[in-house]
Amino acid sequence: MIFSNLSQHARYEELHPLFARAFKYMRDNDLYAFAPGRYHIEGDDLIAIVEHVSGRTREMARLEAHRHYIDIQLLLDGDETMGWKPLADCYNPVGEHSIERDILFFLDAPASWIPVPPDHFCIFFPEDTHAPLVGDGPIRKVIFKIAVQDE
């Protein structure tokens, strides 16, 4: 898991071939003008999901994990806190991994909570679980889904 300010994006661009493309997309587009929805930037390999939702309580948030995508979650506006826990420390899955949605939820509690101000992002890798959208009031964010490279 990585937490950083958008101004520091260059530090992370070498971690994955599509990270530079994702950060360029963030810089070159007025993300505030995007309607909620899914935007395919590089086919299914790089997708932006724009969300305008109401925050939820920590008790309502569930940890989630993805096998085939890395998330870069960028907060545009609002008050958001994200829970985090290593996937290896999660023992209470809810059902099976959804291949269609690439998601598995857990009943485990996060190991830590990260307050995320606007213009900051978290990167969650497949070995991370995260509980997003915790906060008071409306949250506007963009989640960049980056396909995991085949080893």
**pLDDT, one tens digit for every residue, the chain (151 residues):** 999 999 999 999 999 999 999 999 999 999 999 999 999 999 999 999 999 999 999 999 999 999 999 999 999 999 999 999 999 999 999 999 999 999 999 999 999 999 999 999 999 999 999 999 999 999 999 999 999 986 5
Tokens standing for residue 122: 């978290």
Q: What is the pLDDT of residue 128?
A: 98
Query: What pTM was estimated for this model as a whole?
Result: 0.96
Q: What is the pLDDT of residue 149?
A: 80
Contact 108, 130 (CB under 8 A): no
E strand or H helix that includes residue 25: helix 19-28
CA distance 107 to 83: 12
Segments making up each domain of the chain, as ranges = 2-147
Tokens standing for residue 114: 């990260």
CA distance 54 to 73: 16
CA distance 120 to 80: 10
Q: What is the CATH number of domain 2-147?
A: 2.60.120.370
Q: What is the pLDDT of residue 150?
A: 66
Positive or negative torsion for Cα 46, 13, 127, 61? negative
